[in-house]
Chains A and B, each alone.
Chain A
Amino acid sequence: MTLKDIRSVIDGFDATRAQMENLAETGQDFANEGARVQTRVASLHPKRLALTVSDLVEETATTRTLRLTGDAGTLPPFLAGQYVNLFVTVDGVETARPFAISSAPQERGHYDLTVRKIAGGFVSPWLVEGLQVGAKVSSSGPMGSFYVNPIHHGDDLVFLAGGSGVAPAISMIRDIAARRLPVKFHLIYGSRQTDDVIFQRELSELDAACDFLTLTQVISEPNDAFQGRTGFIDAALISEVCGEMANKTVYLCGPPAMNAACAKELKDVGVTNKRLHIEANGPPVDPTARGGWPSGVAAHQNVTVTVNGKGSFETTAGEPLLNALEKAGYQVENACRSGECSLCRIKILSGDVFNPSEAKLRQSDRRFGWVHSCVAYATSDVEILL
């Protein structure tokens, strides 16, 4: 400073400037901070993971486990119950589907995804039948809030699983066993036929080996030789095998119909919203059956989607906009594909869109016309902003 600064008339100004100079002696120019931020964020929440299919395990005739090994070594940690969104190209369409991780969180070299083929599905048949060992895929980082939260879930846990919904359950069981957590875990697992039971051997072994675990299996379409419990999981069965439910935390993960039915049964036995955690399920199976769907619009009705400044295409009212966009070659970020995470958020500039209850929209997104495209349906011609 050559000239005296006019600000020197302010009490403390000169002293503070001197202090600044002292600070500069011991400070840094933060040249490495940008890289540190990136490394740190990537170690916990990478945007994309590069993975190789290192093994494929037949679980049942319709289900297999994909073992995915991280190309960059150790994979980010996850909480048992969380999912990754798997990005794939099927029939030339770049798309993705979320799958719960079935391996234990202690296993950091790979994630296992246990996939069941859905009849008429677009991606699951390809994953179960088409994917080969050695294939390269990518995924999101682990996500989701369907996990055992130590803060308020307590130590008395019940998991109702149906079909491949057992995937997050087995990860939780493996985790509890590895960490010797002081909880009780009761898995009630429904399958259609005995051949459909996934992880049968491991579950029986764990059941025998682990004091914390109780296993109840139910078969809905038993053959004549079957001796175990049959039917669907209902209030009577839950009460019979679990007793008083008021203080238990319940996780529910199964096909959409089962989730809806079981949620009702659980209410009947006194499980409150607070104690019930239902895993997301993808878009509604039949959106036209939902309250609020405009009358007179059929699922197969053609609608035109115009993407602001980027062309237009035809789709049907019953197709979620995200899927339609992907099939038309547009890319939209996404992860849960069930309306929860908001990553697929787009703006509707004109036209009518149906948002089912799955769409967890922010109040102000509703007001300004933003929707979650994974569970949004164009019920007229629409114009959107990507």
Chain B
Amino acid sequence: MKDYDAIVIGAGNAGLSAAATLQRGGMRTLLLERHNIPGGCATSFVRGDYEFEVALHQLSGLGTEDQPAILRHVFDSMGISDKVDYVEEHHLYRYAVPGVIDITLPASVKGIIAVLSEAFPAEADKLKPFLDLCEVLTLEAYLAYPRAKATGDPEVIKKNCRNFVKYGLRNAKDVLDEFFDDPVLKAVLGGYWGYMGLPLKELPFSDLGVMLYAYAAMKPWHVVGGSQALSNALLDSFLEAGGDVRFNCGAEQITTDNGAVAAVRTEHGEIFTTNQVVSNASSILTYNQLLDRPELAGDVREDFKSRRMGVSGFVLYLGLDCTPKDLGIEVATNFVANTIDDEAQHAEALTLDGAPKGCLFTCYTVGDETLAPKGKSVVALMCLQYGSAWDNVKPEDYAATKFAYAEKLIDLAETVIPSVRDHIEEIEVATPMTMMRYLNTPGGAIYGFSQGIAEHGTVRDRVRPVHGLHLAGSWSGMGGFQPTYQAGASVGGSILCKQNKKAG
């Protein structure tokens, strides 16, 4: 008998979800995490009186209690529904470019149409058709297309997924251009590009459209206690079901026998036998480093060559000694930029020489005051940045470089939200190197590989060269919270399914 029915490497969102699903499904599962806490990106840390959310800005896919959406069902199936509390956000975002626009989109399709019709009357009649398209695209991408594809008949795809066929792989800029003229309106509607890390012309429209519609219809959510609360709840559910977990215990090798998974060796030298491994570590690390015979990875390594490294982030975690109201903000999610040009903003992510042109100011205490001591606020101020921007920064210059860039980021935020600096009580600066340290990802990437059209799941073929080795997480699908929870649950589910077939 094997030591475990399954071993999960990494306790990020996908690893936790896979582990909880497997153990609750009756497979004896070992979860290995190199860090001392579950969550990966989905974590928090405490400084002084403040607890800082590391990564979650807005949780998507939950839906309301009355109208639950997919993620609520997934969480139900993993047994965490009564372990977590959520706070609904009533706005998608504020989009502010001084001298150009300052507008807030409410969290409803109707509300968005009303607000934008008033601000852009000349284009009012195109808003509904546009948002309708986002809606049907969501349904087609997630429901109709997978079914149609399974039939193997191209005509069925054409017939049942008309919008997906036409718009699914087009770039977001193109589609916005097709509908609208006003560049400011297009920039406002494209505001979420930053959540995917690529400018509109490189993003598949289906991803942007789905995101916009999903947040509007299913609402953006905060989690009480932050995403760490979700991570802790998933782990709790896993432990309650009898799972074994080891922290401070990285996996060092996946041992194979005849091209199939046989065991996992930890950094402490222990060896655990198993036939099933789910790796939540990056695919790069899994196939190039962990696998005992990297040559087994064959096709995967070919696939790597057509991939590009994804983006990381530069984040200031701020504890402010004032309320959101004192700062003049009413909305948690604030995109602040000095240009509506997303390509110019993205270009700054590649270098430390200039200054950020766009950023995201998320104030978690809007809507949930319990996150900070009374009268105070917790903020994450973030801009996109690639790990490569830090390649030539020497260790001895690291601190000075990060502080200097932090100053520029605060300067940008202050063009819309004045006197942030004066209110700082606690501050922690995280760079792509910080992400790299805590996630063990190449380039400190936070969504896995770049999320461009050529990386889209629709155009990629699934390669799984090693029997019993499964990947789950941002490196083998879409990055972000909702996708990675779902990926873990689905990988766990399909392993269970096969196992049960064998047994039955």
Contacts and interface: CB of A to CB of B under 8 A. Distances in A.
Interface of A: 6-13, 16-17, 19-21, 23-25, 27-31, 33-34, 36-37, 40-41, 43-45, 76-77, 79, 108, 145, 149-152, 272-274, 333, 340, 342-343, 345, 360-365, 367-368, 370, 385
A362 B228 contact: yes
Contact of A9 (B46, B47, B165, B306): B165
Contact of A31 (B233, B288, B396, B436): B288
Contact of B454 (A23, A37, A40, A364): A23
Nearest to B406: A151
B44 interface: yes
Main secondary structure of the interface of B (DSSP, over half): helix
Contacts of B459: 7, 13, 16-17, 20
A76 B395 contact: yes
A370 B37 CA distance: 10
A322 to B, nearest CB: 13
A150 B45 CA distance: 22
Contact of A6 (B149, B395, B427): B149
Contact of B433 (A11, A44, A363): A44
B454 A45 contact: no
B59 to A, nearest CB: 15
Contacts of A151: 403, 406-407, 410, 421, 424, 427, 429
B288 A30 contact: yes
Interface stretch (B166-174, B185-193, B340-348): B166-174
Contacts of B410: 151
B374 to A, nearest CB: 13
B308 interface: yes
A8 B305 contact: no
Given A10-B164, A29-B305, 8 more contacts: A6-B152, A7-B149, A33-B443, A40-B433, A45-B437, A343-B36, A368-B235, A370-B232
B225 A10 contact: no
B427 A363 contact: no
Contacts of A9: 154, 157-158, 165
A33 B288 contact: yes
Nearest to A278: B48
Interface of B: 36-37, 44-49, 51, 149, 152-154, 157-158, 164-170, 224-226, 228-229, 231-233, 235-236, 239, 247-248, 284-285, 288-289, 294, 301-302, 304-308, 321, 370, 395-396, 398-399, 403, 406-407, 410, 421, 424-425, 427-429, 433, 436-437, 440-443, 453-454, 456, 458-459
B132 to A, nearest CB: 19
Given A9-B157, A41-B436, A360 B288 contact: no
Contact of B306 (A7, A13, A23): A23
A11 B158 CA distance: 10
Contact of B395 (A13, A43, A342, A345): A43
B396 A108 contact: yes
A30 B442 contact: yes
B407 A44 contact: no
A375 B425 CA distance: 25
Contact of A362 (B36, B44, B370): B44
Contact of B232 (A13, A33, A37, A367): A367
A273 B425 contact: yes
A6 B154 contact: yes
Contacts of B231: 364
Contacts of B284: 30, 33-34
A360 B289 CA distance: 36
A12 B170 contact: yes
B228 A27 contact: no
A19 B454 contact: yes
Residue picked from A27, A41, A44, A343, most chain B C-beta under 10 Å: A44
State the 4 A-B residue pairs at the shortest beta-carbon distance, nearest first: A27-B305, A364-B229, A12-B169, A364-B225
Which of A19, A150, A152, A340 lies at the interface centre, i.e. has the most chain B CB atoms within 10 A of its CB? Answer: A152
B458 A7 contact: yes
Contacts of B453: 12, 16, 19
A8 B226 CA distance: 42
Contacts of A45: 437
B445 to A, nearest CB: 10
A367 B395 contact: no
Contacts of B406: 151
Contact of A10 (B165, B224, B407, B443): B165
Contacts of B229: 363-364, 367
A342 B169 contact: no
Nearest to B246: A386
A237 to B, nearest CB: 26
B170 A11 contact: yes
Contacts of B239: 385
B157 A28 contact: no
A13 B169 CA distance: 7
Contact of B428 (A8, A77, A145): A145
A342 B36 contact: yes
Nearest to A147: B399
Contacts of A34: 284-285, 288-289, 442
Contact of B248 (A7, A333, A362): A333
A213 B224 CA distance: 46
A131 B158 CA distance: 78
Contacts of B157: 6-7, 9-10
B21 to A, nearest CB: 19
A382 B81 CA distance: 28
